């Protein structure tokens, strides 16, 4: 089984530290804060074995140098000039095998940035599949289009939507309540969404993270994953006062609405 530790960072980031149960070799995903990772390694009696990166933004890469000063380990990430400390670059369709159960498929998911990738670990025995998706897919939302296009983000989210519905979605920010408030504006009659708001609020009231979520939950409640539905399409056409003819245009319209929500 894979053990994943949630490391809250900055105001609303999550860093992910994972290892096989029974092994002290641990890997960190998107270490924006190296000191926080070192503290967690010491507290949990784990050894840093490697670093996985999804994209180049500083809150995901800012701690790499500090961790490498502590221990020279492989840095796995996108093949991008924006992340010079990546020692092992990966492209779409390639596989990173860390151990028998820690095997990741690389998915290129541009949109938020052009160099964004996601790391997908398929099910292994009783272990559910898991995804480290950075800022492409959020619980109830998706990342802003800082570098890529709506068409790219739509393609990326459609690619992720093909993953198993029980995939555990490990995104990089605690944006869930704000995302769900927007989702309710888009789909006010979505019953699954109403229940998700209640569940997410209960977790936050206890100081607990709302992530990981699951792909099934995102497909039921995340408007950016539901651009193919009549409910989302009708809502956007009413807001804009015109017809929307393509899925790419619809994704862009939802993203623009969210940016000013």
Is 59 known to be catalytic? yes
Residues 6+ apart with CB under 8 A from 81: none
User: 76 exposed, middle or buried (CB, 10 Å; 0-12, 13-18, 19+)?
Assistant: buried
Is 228 known to be catalytic? no
Of 19, 30, 33, 55, which one is the catalytic site residue?
55
Q: 82-88: list long-range contacts, CB under 8 Å, 24+ apart.
A: 82/56, 82/113, 82/115, 83/53, 83/56, 83/115, 85/61, 86/53
User: 107 exposed, middle or buried (CB, 10 Å; 0-12, 13-18, 19+)?
Assistant: buried
Of 30, 59, 116, 170, which one is the catalytic site residue?
59
Of 56, 154, 170, 173, which one is the catalytic site residue?
173
Is 55 known to be catalytic? yes
Among residues 250, 225, 224, the alpha carbon closest in space to that of 237 is found at 250
Is 57 known to be catalytic? yes
Cα angle 227-231-237, degrees, rounded to a multiple of 5: 80
Is 112 known to be catalytic? yes
Of 19, 30, 33, 112, which one is the catalytic site residue?
112
Of 135, 154, 155, 170, which one is the catalytic site residue?
135
Is 248 known to be catalytic? no
Of 19, 56, 57, 155, which one is the catalytic site residue?
57
Tokens found for residue 225: 């994953």
Is 135 known to be catalytic? yes
Tokens found for residue 137: 């897919």
**Alpha helices in 5-57, H assignment, sequence order:** 34-44
DSSP bridge pairs for 132: 119, 170
C-alpha separations of 190 from 29, 161, 162, 203, 228 in Å: 33, 19, 22, 20, 15
Of 19, 56, 60, 154, which one is the catalytic site residue?
60
User: 42 exposed, middle or buried (CB, 10 Å; 0-12, 13-18, 19+)?
Assistant: exposed
Residues annotated catalytic, as ranges: 55, 57, 59-60, 112, 135, 173
């Amino acid at each position: 089984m894979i053990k994943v530790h949630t490391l809250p960072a900055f105001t609303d980031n999550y860093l992910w530290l994972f290892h096989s149960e029974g092994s002290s070799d641990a890997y960190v995903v998107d270490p924006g804060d190296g000191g926080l990772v070192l503290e967690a390694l010491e507290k949990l009696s784990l050894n840093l074995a490697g670093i996985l990166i999804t994209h180049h933004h500083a809150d995901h890469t800012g701690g790499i140098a500090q961790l490498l000063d502590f221990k020279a380990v492989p840095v796995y990430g996108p093949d991008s000039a924006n992340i010079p400390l990546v020692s092992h670059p990966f492209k779409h369709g390639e596989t990173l095998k860390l151990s028998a159960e820690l095997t990741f498929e690389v998915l290129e998911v541009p949109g938020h940035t052009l160099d964004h990738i996601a790391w997908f670990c398929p099910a292994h025995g009783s272990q559910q599949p898991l995804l480290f998706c950075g800022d492409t897919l959020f619980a109830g939302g998706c990342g802003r289009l800082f570098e890529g296009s709506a068409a790219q983000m739509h393609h990326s989210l459609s690619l992720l939507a093909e993953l198993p519905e029980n995939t555990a979605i490990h995104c990089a920010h605690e944006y869930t309540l704000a995302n769900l408030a927007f989702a309710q504006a888009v789909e006010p009659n979505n019953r699954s969404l109403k229940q998700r708001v209640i569940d997410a609020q209960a977790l936050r009231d206890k100081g607990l993270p709302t992530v990981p979520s699951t792909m099934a939950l995102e497909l039921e409640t995340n408007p950016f994953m539901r651009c193919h539905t009549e409910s989302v399409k009708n809502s956007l056409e009413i807001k804009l006062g015109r017809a929307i003819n393509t899925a790419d245009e619809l994704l862009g319209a939802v993203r623009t609405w969210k940016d000013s929500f």
